[in-house]
Structure 1
Amino acid sequence: MRRRLVRLAVLAATVAVVLFGLPLAVAVTQYAQIYKLLDLERLADRAALRVAASLSDDGAPSAEELRDDATLTYLSVYDHDGAFVRGRGPDPADRFVDEALNGISAAGTDRDELVVAVPVTHDGEVVGAIRIAGPTRALLWPVAAAWAGLVGLAVLAVGVVWLIARRQAVKLARPLEELTEAAQRLGDGDFAVRLAAVDVLEIDAAGNSLNRTAARLDDLLARERAFSAEASHQLRTPLTSLRLRLETALDGTSEELRSAVTAGLRSAERIEHTIDELLSLARDTRSDVAPVDVGRFVGEAVQQRSADFTAVRRDLRTVIEPEAPHASVSVAALRQVLAVLLDNSLEHGAGTVEVTVRDAGDVVAVDVSDEGPGISLPDSALFERRSASAAGTGIGLALARRLAEAEGGHLRLARPAPPVFTLLLRAADPH
């Protein structure tokens, strides 16, 4: 590509130089010819003054009167009848002399000569003509020097264009090569590729479009990967509960089987809701949310999960302050955060689990506590995704905090021992 750009620039410069140089060379030649003819005419006029007296007396000018005034030029004289008198001109007289005898100066080219003829006058009458001529090649040698200078300037101009084109080709080709490489990396699945601005409008526009595409693909892939991991994590508990209930029902009576099937259907419904909510959260397709009665929602959610805690002989209870305000939060996000905290207490905690909903000023606080031995991890490691020090998969608490922050809230460890997790949610505007 760089070579093509350089060749194109040099070709354009060459065409421009030729289109400009040829007319200029022709103009220089014509100017030199006109200038030389004027010079010859000046020499002829001087010679006419010298021979005017001799021709008026029907005499022949002397050799001194017809001496050449310049190198490579020669003079000749003709009488009033056009008869050759003296010099090195043609005999008989040519058309230039004929025009001069008619009182009109004549100038032009004749084969390889520049020719000027002027009338010789005495007392207002034409008494003869002076003809001066010289070889064209010898008289126009400055034209060759001018042409050589033009050719040199043309070569210099093309050379300068070649040097500039090489630099510009590197400047233009490098970002295009980087753009091509980035597009190939993007096609190979490297969505982290980014291009820096190069101060070339068109290339920057293409680079920005590629950067936006890579960012969207990277975000989409991250969402899909997060959904896969989060769905697996969130579905593990209800699937385990469903499996245990069905296995228990196999060893029970028909009435117990019916009860197990009913509970299994509820668990399947919960799994279905979990999948829908995780898809909505992962793809960020939620619309504006209505204020949520957090106390009522937490009460219903705790009631649905009470069987899981009863199965392991643990208590699950709620404390809901009646003056707790509604919160501006997505029901799906709130359900998933609460599910993570309850699953965390069920798996890693001990004793009674208590969920408290209270008014905390401009926010609604949801506290989830148990009687476990406590948590020794720092906050940064506790909520880090895939943390090496995590007791489980390292997904649940990281997911819960991310969902809380996406809703404008915050999840933190309020007390390490016995552990208390606090979810802070924005209070809804009462108006």
Structure 2
Amino acid sequence: MRRRLLSSTLLVAVIAVLLLGIPLGVAVNRLIEEEATQGLVSQAKSLLNEVEYARLQDQPIDPVQLARKYPDRYIQIYVKGTPPQVTTVGTEPSDNRKMTEDAQSENGVYVAVTRDRTAVAREVRAWLLLILGLATAALAVAVGLAIVQSRRLTLPLSDLAMIAERLGSGDARPSKHRYGIQELDRVAEVLDRSATRISDLLAREREFATDASHQLRTPLTGLTMRLEEIVAAAHDPSVVKEEGEAAIVQAERLTAVIDELLAAARRQRHAQAEAVKLDRILEQQLTEWGPAFRRMGRDIRLEGTRGLRPLATSGGISQVISTLLENSLRHGDGTVTVTTSEKDTSVVVEVADEGEGIADDLAGRVFERNVSGKGGTGLGLTLARALAAADGGRLELVRPRPAVFALFLRKAETPRNRVVSGPA
């Protein structure tokens, strides 16, 4: 990543320097050329005025004085007369290196001022070298800033990767590191919250295992003792009956303990529930399942009330909706419509398709384990209902033909914004 940042920054800097430097170099070259030309024009006009004044005063033209006044210039003066007067001052440059400007009066005076282009080219090169130096300095500064920025970004990312790896290995301690970059600090905060939740989950799992081992030990011991009594008193039917009834009582007690532990675990799961954005979860599911439905020539629609915030967990809702969409894809037909609504105390998500639905003999047992009408595993809806219950909600089959499943969730708030979206 650091190399990509450096190369991309350097590329942007080079493009910017070229876009600015090349036009600037052309403009400087043209400006110096125009300035030199305007200087020669001004000198030619000034010289013409001097020659005109000398003629009016009947004074001769002094080449020595002109050479001192116009150094490094080749001057040609032509005065009309009989015979015409021609005066030259200085050394004429070669044809490929000279710049010439002239001026002429109505009295027959013509002057031409010529200079060597080498000095102009030298000045142009000096300015171009200055521009090149500034461009090089700008590139160096850009590279330096890119190095600093890449370190500022890659080091926190490496740190966050180590924190995530540590979470995956079971070390759920929050790092509480912050890096001064809003996006990275947001990721660090999410990882810290995840670490806290994972730590709480691990603590609750350990507590559950401890409670289970403690609570189940006594009923299991009692059940074992009753079974041993049954074996020892196999010759006496009355004793066998009595001990068998006692064993049943112990088994019922064991079942009650298990139910109590599961209820406690579910209450802990409810403690994790929070107000979630239902729209985001449903849109994510429709995005994920949309391609599969389109390959089958089918559509998914999202309708109903938007902006609902049920009290649940994002993972639980996602898994339940994913199971319902998968069932609709495999066992249903036509357009699948996901409808959201709100009741007095509940947020309801309905998933309906246009297929044949569920047979009457299966409608009452569709949530039972290992019950499937079309070759499925018979576990998806069972687990989906368990996940809904773990979030404090419930999953119901509200209409068998065409099939309509409804997920009822606890309501956190009641915003109202009725919209209907198009096919996914």
- Normalising by structure 2, what TM-score? 0.55
8 Å CA contact retained: 1:74, 1:133: yes
Q: Pick from 111, 135, 143 the counterpart of residue 162 of structure 1.
A: 143
Alpha-carbon separation, structure 2, partners of 1:84 and 1:265: 143
SS of 1:284 mapped into structure 2: helix
Task: State the structure with bigger RCO (CA 8 A, min sep 6), 1 or 2.
Answer: 2
Q: What residue is the counterpart of 2:14 in the other structure?
A: 14
Q: Is the contact between residue 75 and residue 88 of structure 1 (CA under 8 Å) also seen in structure 2?
A: yes
Residues 67 and 89 in structure 2, CA contact (< 8 A), matched pair in contact too: no
Same amino acid, percent of matched pairs: 33
The answer to whether residue 212 in structure 2 is matched with residue 194 in structure 1 is: no
1:76 match: secondary structure? strand
Greater shift after overlay, 3-12 or 128-137?
A: 3-12
Q: Given the alignment, which residue of 109, 133, 140 partners 1:152?
A: 133
Residues 72, 90 of structure 2: 8 Å contact kept: no
Cα separation, 2, equivalents of 1:249 and 1:80: 150
In 2, are the aligned partners of 1:193 and 1:211 still within 8 Å (CA)? Answer: yes
Structure-2 change in CA distance of 1:55 and 1:244 (3 Å)? same
Contact kept, 8 Å, 1:60 with 1:86, in 2: the verdict is: no
Corresponding residue for 1:38?
A: 38
**Structure 2 vs 1, CA of residues 198 and 118 (structure 1 numbering), >3 Å: closer, same or farther?**
same
Deviation at 1:237, TM superposition (A): 0.6
Q: Is the 8 A contact 1:116 1:133 kept in 2?
A: yes
| Equivalent position amino acid for 1:187 in 2 | G
- Is the alpha carbon distance of 1:15 and 1:126 closer, same or farther for their aligned partners in structure 2, counting shifts above 3 Å? farther
Contact 1:76 1:89 in 2 (8 A): no
The size of the alignment, in residue pairs, is 265
1:213 to 173, 179, 194: 194
Tell me the TM-score normalized by structure 1: 0.54
- What is the DSSP-based 3-state SS (H/G/I as helix, E as strand, rest coil) of the residue aligned with 2:221? helix
The answer to whether 1:270 aligns with 2:253 is yes
Match of residue 75 from structure 1: 75
Query: Paired residue for 2:47?
Result: 47
Cα RMSD (Å) of the superposition?
A: 3.4
Structure 1: how far apart are the matches of 2:85 and 2:100?
16
Letter aligned with residue 3 of structure 1: R
Alpha-carbon distance change, 234 to 70 in structure 1, aligned in 2, over 3 angstroms? farther
Q: Which of 119, 131, 136 in structure 1 is aligned with 2:117?
A: 136
Amino acid in structure 2 at the alignment position of 1:212: R
**3-state SS in 1 of match to 2:114:** strand
Q: Secondary structure, in 3 states, of the residue corresponding to 2:63?
A: coil
1:85 is matched with: 86
What is residue 259 of structure 1 aligned with on the other side? 242
- Code of the residue aligned with 2:86 in structure 1: it is V
1:240 aligns with 2:221: yes
Contact kept? 2:32, 2:120, Cα under 8 Å: no
Aligned-partner Cα distance in 1 for 2:160–2:19: 37
The answer to whether the 8 Å contact 2:100/2:115 transfers is yes
Question: Per-residue deviation at 1:65?
Answer: 6.7
Q: Which blocks of at least 5 consecutive residues in structure 1 are unaligned?
A: 92-109, 289-431
Q: Matched residue of 1:117: which SS?
A: strand
Matches within 5 A, 1:27-426: 27-52=27-52, 63-64=63-64, 67=67, 69-79=69-79, 85-87=86-88, 111-119=96-104, 121=105, 125-192=106-173, 194=175, 196-252=177-233, 253-284=236-267
What SS is found at the alignment partner of 1:189? coil
How far has the Cα of 1:30 moved from its partner?
A: 1.7
**Counterpart AA for 1:16:** A
Structure 2 unaligned regions, length at least 5: 272-424
Instruction: Work out which of the two has the higher radius of gyration on C-alpha atoms and give 1 or 2.
Output: 1
Partner SS, residue 198 of structure 1 = coil
Distance 1:45 1:167 in 2: 59
- Quick check: 161-170 or 175-184, which moved more? 161-170
Paired with 1:50 and 1:18, the residues of 2 have a C-alpha distance of 48
Structure 2: distance between partners of 1:232 and 1:46: 113
After TM superposition, give the deviation of residue 40 of structure 1 in Å.
1.6
Q: Judging changes above 3 Å, is the alpha-carbon distance between structure 1 residues 218 and 57 closer, same or farther for their aligned structure 2 residues?
A: same
Q: 1:219 and 1:43 mapped to 2: Cα distance?
A: 91
Aligned residue identity for 2:205: E
Per the TM alignment, residue 42 of structure 1 is displaced from its structure 2 partner at its CA by 2.1
